[in-house]
Amino acid sequence: MESKSTTGPIANELGASQSGELPGADTSAVAPVVPTREALVRLRPIGLVNARVESDFWAERLRTNLERTIPHGASMLEACGNLTNFELAAGAEGRYHGAEGDGGNPAPFLDSDVYKWLEAVGWTLAQEERSELRPLAERMIGLAARAQRPDGYLDTFYQVAKPGDEFSDMEWGHELYVAGHLIQAAVAWKRGLGDERLLQIAERFVERIEAELGPGRREAICGHPEFEMALVELYRTTGERRYLELARTLVDRRGHGLLGSCRYGARFWQDHQTVRSAPEPAGHAVRQMYLDAGVVDVAVETGDRELLDAALRRWEAMQFSFTYLTGGLGVHHQDEAFGAPFELPPDRAYTETCAAIGGAMLSWRLLLATGEERFADMIERQAYNAILAALGPDGSSFFYSNPLMQRSTIPEVLHGIATTRRIAWPRIACCPPNLMRLISSLPDFAVTADSAGLQIHQFMSGTFSATIGPGAVSFSSRTEYPWDGVVDIEIETSIDEAWTLSMRVPSWCAKAVATFADGRLSGEGRDRIEIRRRWKQGDRLRLELDMSPRITSPDPRIDAVRGCVALERGPLVYAVEDADMPSGASVESLELADSPNVRIEAREAGESGEMVRLSFDGRLRSEAENPWPYRKFGPAMTRPSEPIRVRTLPYFAWGNRPGRGMRVWIPTQA
Ligand SMILES: [Zn+2]
């Protein structure tokens, strides 16, 4: 199979005319994903410097990330020994800190948490100078430089705990995964700050990896994808095509049994079928998302339509039957894996934070490649629900696993990865720094550009600018989203010819209308509203999205929640907590009334920050006291129940008050 991946030059088989090449396309955007001019993409990122998010829902979270989460991360990386490992690799005396303690082997991937932190800081400093972050970052960059061996190798686990065993455990060793995170941090510092120190370290390590595993060398792949997408970004940053060649080689090596079958089968690490043939997502959810992100990157840079179609096919299968209402991905606790189609139990939902983050990273790449708003819809669902729920309002507590139901009587669990409340730092700490880097780069997801104009995908308050063909254009937007569906847009800079402003109409939105300031209707639409005109400075436009509450029912094939409904409004999924139930009652006895009369409550400030709650009419069921919780099948038994008015809260804000019980899916009496 090596021949498939290495024969023939890498060329854009579709040709530049179909590649979406844009006159004046900005390939110097300060962003995690910046396709080259030749790439097969329809949209371009405008980058973090051109997306200034101010005073809104996300601005608050960016601030919390900057002021609390990132500093907290630095102190935890210090306290947990991640930084000490670099000191040891640089020559200090001591033993590798491997997150042992649960009786397992030392974790080999702790360096990656340092790199994710550095990536988050790189994107953050690109947006705003924060002198207090500089010394911490300098220390970490200095440590990486000192720890790197003269031959370029850099992985403190192998240098300190397993010297001589480099590249011997491709299944579990995570060496290329760690290298991938180093590259992504390096790209952030290069693009965001023009600082090439990490880039030099990363390129030296990649050279060492190429000598071992590159095209024509030993045929091996890493058990945890990540390196592939990072290599493509390294190619995009440096122009060195051999990085793209290595990424394509690794992508095409997968699925040929090089990793063999682990205790969870070859599906676990997506080695059961080739990336070109696998029809649906399988195995470890984070691995599948990171792999497909790399697959899309390789596909668009090499013009490989077959590869792009394969990733699209898996994404569609994922959306259709493997995704929780919250956008959470990966059901199984045992192997952190996708289950069978429609196997989506709410209380046993694993939904690792990193899987939803990986899902957003994949959808972003597909949005750039295709221009289709369904990918922005998924990013929105994941960002506001599965991802945001993982971060406490204090900015320094985290969920690793994000279930859609927690039983009121569950014993408190504060260790491991399925904790009953957010904790300061999980022993395996992949998720917290992943949150940091995602949030710090979130403004980049809001707006893209193409030769025709600008596209608004996520609604944020701020100023957004880009160069389109003949010149620079910019607009400001003001919104109370997600609490309100009004987005006010004002053109700040324009050019002397017509261009198109496009606005996503979310798939959940029944009606969207855009009107000019003088009241003239300018558009209505389903997926997007596009307005092409000769925009002038000061032109104003109001987009109004229907934010009526929605009662959502699941596909009956999702057996675990059959007969239940969930409440949604705008991009938010809602939940009920014990704290909002009558004294002594739990969410487990809650049912929806026949006429639930769902209402939007007044906006309020609470333990979890500002929010708009929904309320509905429910019933509190009196539980049967039978000794056996099953009965003869027959007409539905009417049990006594008491009508109650129930207040819900956004799912992302659950888990901040006393009481354990929480549920998204509410049983109906049917
Ligand atoms: Zn994680």
Least confident of 435-449, 520-534, 573-587: 520-534
Model confidence at 345, in pLDDT bands (50, 70, 90)? very high
Q: What is the pLDDT of residue 103?
A: 55
Per-residue burial over 592-623, b = 16 or more CB atoms within 10 Å of its CB, e = otherwise: bbeebebeeeeeeeeebeebbbbbbbbbbbee
Among 506, 528, 545, which residue terminates a domain? Answer: 545
Residues 6+ apart with CB under 8 A from 575: 404, 648, 649, 650, 651, 654, 662, 663, 664
How many angstroms does the Cα of residue 18 sit away from the middle of ligand 1? 37
Residues 6+ apart with CB under 8 A from 627: none
Task: Report yes or no: 573 and 650 within 8 Å, Cβ to Cβ.
Answer: yes
| Whether residue 498 is found in the same domain as residue 388 | no
How many angstroms does the Cα of residue 247 sit away from the middle of ligand 1? 23
List C-alpha distances in Å: 645 to 88, 136, 563, 576.
Answer: 59, 50, 20, 12
Model confidence at 519, in pLDDT bands (50, 70, 90)? confident
**Mode of pairing for the β-strands spanning 462-468 and 471-479:** antiparallel
How many angstroms does the Cα of residue 223 sit away from the middle of ligand 1? 16
Averaged pLDDT for residues 471-497 = 97
How many angstroms does the Cα of residue 356 sit away from the middle of ligand 1? 9
Averaged pLDDT for residues 238-242 = 97
- Which CATH number do you get for residue 432? 1.50.10.20
How many angstroms does the Cα of residue 399 sit away from the middle of ligand 1? 9
How many angstroms does the Cα of residue 190 sit away from the middle of ligand 1? 25
Least confident of 104-108, 130-134, 365-369, 651-655: 104-108
Averaged pLDDT for residues 95-103 = 72
pTM of the full structure: 0.95
Q: What is the pLDDT of residue 520?
A: 85
Q: What is the pLDDT of residue 13?
A: 36
| Whether residue 148 is found in the same domain as residue 256 | yes
Q: What is the pLDDT of residue 26?
A: 63
pLDDT reading at 18 higher than 50? no
Q: What is the pLDDT of residue 379?
A: 98
Q: What is the pLDDT of residue 20?
A: 42
Which residues place a Cβ less than 5 A from the ion ligand 1? 352, 354, 430-431
What does the mean pLDDT of the chain come to?
Answer: 93
Residue 658 DSSP symbol: S
How many angstroms does the Cα of residue 434 sit away from the middle of ligand 1? 7
The tens digit of pLDDT for each residue in 304-324 reads 999 999 999 999 999 999 999
The tens digit of pLDDT for each residue in 346-383 reads 999 999 999 999 999 999 999 999 999 999 999 999 99
How many angstroms does the Cα of residue 391 sit away from the middle of ligand 1? 12
How many angstroms does the Cα of residue 73 sit away from the middle of ligand 1? 14
Model confidence at 28, in pLDDT bands (50, 70, 90)? confident
| Whether residue 466 is found in the same domain as residue 557 | no
Averaged pLDDT for residues 325-331 = 98
Closest by CA to 353, choosing from 438, 459, 473, is 438
How many angstroms does the Cα of residue 157 sit away from the middle of ligand 1? 19
pLDDT reading at 24 higher than 80? no
How many angstroms does the Cα of residue 436 sit away from the middle of ligand 1? 12
Least confident of 17-21, 49-53, 82-86, 420-424: 17-21
State whether the Cα torsion 75-77-79-84 is positive or negative: negative
Question: What phi and psi, each to the nearest 5 degrees, are found at residue 576?
Answer: -115, 140
| Whether residue 205 is found in the same domain as residue 311 | yes
Instruction: Report CA 152 to chain centroid distance, whole Å.
Output: 31
Q: What is the pLDDT of residue 464?
A: 98
The pair of three-digit structure tokens given for residue 103, joined into one six-digit string: 């009786």
How many angstroms does the Cα of residue 338 sit away from the middle of ligand 1? 15
How many angstroms does the Cα of residue 69 sit away from the middle of ligand 1? 16
How many angstroms does the Cα of residue 59 sit away from the middle of ligand 1? 24
Strands annotated E in 451-589: 453-456, 462-468, 471-479, 486-493, 499-504, 512-516, 521-524, 528-533, 540-545, 550-552, 564-569, 572-577
How many angstroms does the Cα of residue 354 sit away from the middle of ligand 1? 4
How many angstroms does the Cα of residue 428 sit away from the middle of ligand 1? 8
List C-alpha distances in Å: 542 to 448, 455, 505, 524, 602.
Answer: 19, 15, 13, 12, 23
Among 545, 568, 585, which residue terminates a domain? Answer: 545
| Whether residue 427 is found in the same domain as residue 477 | no
Residues 6+ apart with CB under 8 A from 424: 72, 76, 396, 397, 398
How many angstroms does the Cα of residue 352 sit away from the middle of ligand 1? 6
| Whether residue 507 is found in the same domain as residue 583 | no
Among 512, 529, 545, which residue terminates a domain? Answer: 545
Task: Report yes or no: 144 and 182 within 8 Å, Cβ to Cβ.
Answer: yes
Closest by CA to 335, choosing from 399, 429, 269, 392, is 269
How many angstroms does the Cα of residue 410 sit away from the middle of ligand 1? 23
How many angstroms does the Cα of residue 180 sit away from the middle of ligand 1? 15
| Whether residue 558 is found in the same domain as residue 541 | no
Instruction: Report CA 434 to chain centroid distance, whole Å.
Output: 8
How many angstroms does the Cα of residue 432 sit away from the middle of ligand 1? 7
Q: What is the pLDDT of residue 3?
A: 35
Q: What is the pLDDT of residue 16?
A: 34
The tens digit of pLDDT for each residue in 388-404 reads 999 999 999 999 999 99
How many angstroms does the Cα of residue 353 sit away from the middle of ligand 1? 5
- As a residue count, the chain comes to 670
Question: What phi and psi, each to the nearest 5 degrees, are found at residue 522?
Answer: -115, -15
Q: How many domains does the chain have?
A: 3
| Whether residue 254 is found in the same domain as residue 288 | yes
| Whether residue 506 is found in the same domain as residue 628 | no
Q: What is the pLDDT of residue 276?
A: 98
State whether the Cα torsion 609-612-617-618 is positive or negative: negative
| Whether residue 377 is found in the same domain as residue 292 | yes
- Please name the residue that has the structure tokens 């729920």: 389
The pair of three-digit structure tokens given for residue 65, joined into one six-digit string: 């990330």
How many angstroms does the Cα of residue 593 sit away from the middle of ligand 1? 38
Domain that holds residue 614: 552-667
| Whether residue 189 is found in the same domain as residue 276 | yes
| Whether residue 514 is found in the same domain as residue 649 | no
Percent of the chain with pLDDT over 90: 87
- Which CATH number do you get for residue 519? 2.60.40
Q: What is the pLDDT of residue 9?
A: 34
Q: In angstroms, how far is the first alpha carbon of the chain from the final one?
A: 55
How many angstroms does the Cα of residue 613 sit away from the middle of ligand 1? 29
Averaged pLDDT for residues 609-626 = 90
The tens digit of pLDDT for each residue in 153-196 reads 999 999 999 999 999 999 999 999 999 999 999 999 999 999 99
